[in-house]
Structure 1
Amino acid sequence: MAAKPSESLKTLSIIHLALVGTILAFGIFKFVSNGTFIANANPNDIFIYVIPVVAAFGYFMSQFMFKKQLLAINKTDTLTLKLAKYQAASIVKYAFIEGPAFLAIIAYGFNGNALFLVIAIFLVVYLFMQKPNQKKFMEDVPLTIEDKKEFKNTNR
């Protein structure tokens, strides 16, 4: 764990940016290499049913697991431990969004169906909006007055 709380959040931001950038790069690569953009839905394509379900599952599980892991943070934990638990919860949340986005891009690569690319784009936008920052951390984690003072003092 980093010495300063701001460094922990910066590390988490770098991880977040790397995940978003990787998905974007992979999606752009698949779009350029595939070159097709089919708007018809083939009812015999199993991905038509699987991808939306997996995407919805990933979205809801990301929220559920994040909130569940935040509930495991005790108000009596040290600030360093709270930051570590928040970082772990955030990475799990990102993974639940990233997995379905990659799957949607892979499915798009197979047949060029625009639906899969659109689903991946929505997941990437949602993942991008989950960017960690100090305000979100202070709202999501149960901090004591001492934690808030320590957080502000160590960030100077």
Structure 2
Amino acid sequence: MQIKSLLRTLPIIHFSMVIGLVIFTGFVYWNNPDFNAAMNSSDIFTYLVPVVAASGYFASKAIFQNLTASIGRNDGLQNKLSRYQVATIIKYALLEGPAILALIAYYLSGNALHLVIALSLIAYFFSQRPTRKKVLDDLNLSLEEQKEIDSSR
């Protein structure tokens, strides 16, 4: 995997996933006439959505940290970048899945809680946009590797 390729591919993947969630949110919001804030204790989504959302949030952080921490300092730059891309995509998937579940729950029940949870996950997901600085900070690259990345611009 080339350095330029990774630094271009990750933002495209992130952007497409965020835009997909935003479009799906718009679809769900405009196609559901109900919007209520009442809690329905017999609705399984009332309990399932917050648990899955919190689990997805914490799992995305923990798994990403574990995967990036397992990248060896002596691995080649290409290997480091490949493993970083895999870790990032897993992090995105663990955020996108609960957001989609929350949106489906809102579509089915009209409960505003599910929509708020979905919007919160989308906002957090948006804030996870990969930048050159984040990649460099997350990977703890050597000076030579940083120079190689900077020279690939």
TM-score tier after normalising by the smaller chain length: over 0.9
Distance 2:108 2:25 in 1: 13
Alignment of 1:37-48 (within 5 A): 37-48=35-46
Distance 1:36 1:15 in 2: 33
Q: TM-score, normalised by structure 2?
A: 0.97
Look up the SS of the partner of 2:94 in the other structure. Answer: helix
Q: 2:48 aligns with which of 47, 50, 53?
A: 50
Name structure 1 gaps, 5 residues minimum: none
Alignment of 1:44-83 (within 5 A): 44-83=42-81
Residues 78-103 of structure 1 show CA distances to partners (whole Å, capped at 9, x for unaligned) of 11111111110000000000000000
Contact 1:73 1:142 in 2 (8 A): no
Alignment of 1:107-126 (within 5 A): 107-126=105-124
Q: 1:87 aligns with which of 80, 85, 88?
A: 85
| Aligned: 1:9 with 2:7 | yes
Distance 2:7 2:104 in 1: 31
Distance 2:88 2:120 in 1: 19
Q: Which amino acid aligns with 2:75?
A: D
List structure 1 runs of 4+ shifted beyond 6 angstroms.
none
Name structure 2 gaps, 5 residues minimum: none
1:145, CA displacement in angstroms?
A: 1.4
Distance 2:150 2:23 in 1: 36
| Aligned: 1:127 with 2:114 | no
Distance 1:149 1:23 in 2: 36
Aligned sequence identity (%):
45
| Aligned: 1:150 with 2:145 | no
Q: Considering only aligned residues, what root-mean-square deviation do their CA atoms show, in Å? A: 0.9
